[in-house]
Amino acid sequence: MRMMGFGRFALSISAAMLLLATLAECGGTTGPRSTAEQGSSGAPGGGSTATAGVGGAAAGVCTTPSADSYQPTWTPPSAPMVGACTQQQVSQEWALCEIGSGTYNQSACHAFDSDPANAACLGCVFGVLGAPNAGAILVLPGNEWIANRGGCIALLDGDSSTTGCGAKVQAATVCAYTACNAACTRPVSDKDLVACQNGTASGACRAYFDNAACEQLPRYASCAYSNFADYFNGFADLFCVSGLPGSLGAGGAAGAGP
């Protein structure tokens, strides 16, 4: 099985390195984040305010996920904006606004996100699924953060088409999220949510994960991390601090290289 990590806990399951992190709802005005108070999803420190689930199902229950109505919407990566953020800004956003950071502070997060000096950085880091493009972190309909692994892969290939490996990876990633967001009634335990997500790789979303097997190519190793903190910081650096290394990003539509 391939690696997939959710939020602030990691597990081994599938191709997309799916990383869902509870949205730190600190009321910032510069990012696409909800201003509602923290809800509960069973993840450490709370979770999304979404109450997605199957009508009539008891809280904490995940039914068998389905992707029958799922239609992928490719959100291509934005071009790296070198210097949009400093490393300090990225570190502060993580430390203050991610509940799993250990230093989460709602009021300090609100102040940081409301500071006009941080607007360009936050606009680079965060993007909404379905927008014309997005940077390091995609914000999904359930108010959760997901690392933009598909976008990273598309940048490495120089291929932002709907048929590129990046688009395929994003389709699988969002399929797993969408299927289980509908199948699991909140609050749901980590164990049950992870089991649901695990199952989509060989069940409801299998066709998308099989189609995304390209992500296993060694050339995409720089788009893979072992936990969400590393994804957040690594992708923020790629999209908003340092940009692509000079030798990358010229793979072309075919994704040149092994």
Give the 3-state secondary structure of the chain.
CEEEEECCEEEEECCCCCCEEECCCCCCCCCCCCCCCCECCCCCCCECCCCCCCCCCCCCCECCCCCCCCCCCCCCECCCCCCCCCHHHHHHHHHHHCHHHCCCCHHHHHHHHHCHHHHHHHHHHEEECCCCCECCEEECCCCEEEECHHHHHHHHHCCCCCCCHHHHHHHHHHHHHHHHHHHECCCCCHHHHHHHHHHHHHCCCHHHHHHCHHHHCHHHHHHCCCCHHHHHHHHHHHHHHCCCCCCCCCCCCCCCCC
pLDDT digits (tens, 9 = 90+) for 122-132: 999 999 999 99
Q: Are 16 and 216 in contact (CB under 8 A)?
A: no
* Per-residue model confidence (pLDDT) at position 193: 83
Count up the domains in the chain and report the number.
Answer: 1
183 in Cβ contact with 65 (< 8 Å) = yes
The pLDDT value recorded for residue 58 is 54
Has residue 176 got a pLDDT over 50?
A: yes
Residue 224 vs residues 2, 107, 143, 183, 195: alpha-carbon distances, Å: 11, 32, 23, 27, 22
Span 137-159, mean pLDDT? Answer: 90
Q: Give the global pTM.
A: 0.76
pLDDT reported for residue 86? 98
Report the distance separating Cα 157 and Cα 159, nearest Å. Answer: 5
Structural domain includes residue 248: no
Torsion region of 128: left, alpha or beta (phi above 0 gives left; psi -120 to 50 gives alpha): beta
Q: Assess if residue 68 is contained within a domain.
A: no
pLDDT at residue 235 is higher than 90: yes
State yes or no: pLDDT of 26 exceeds 90: no
Please indicate whether residue 27 or residue 136 has the higher confidence score (pLDDT): 136
Q: Tell me whether residue 190 is exposed, middle or buried, using C-beta atoms within 10 angstroms of its C-beta: 0 to 12, 13 to 18, 19 or more.
A: middle
In a domain, 56, yes or no: no
**Residue 49 belongs to some domain of the structure:** no
What domain range includes position 178? 2-34+77-241
Any domain includes 43: no
Is 211 a domain residue? yes
Q: How confident is the model at residue 214 (pLDDT cuts 50, 70, 90)?
A: very high
Tell which residue, 182, 167, 177, 153, has the closest CA to residue 23: 177
Distances (CA, A) of 172 to 142, 163, 185, 197, 204: 17, 13, 22, 11, 10
pLDDT digits (tens, 9 = 90+) for 38-92: 222 222 122 233 334 455 555 678 999 999 999 999 999 999 999 999 999 999 9
- On whether residue 83 sits in a domain, the answer given is yes
Is residue 8 domain-resident?
A: yes
pLDDT of residue 130: 93
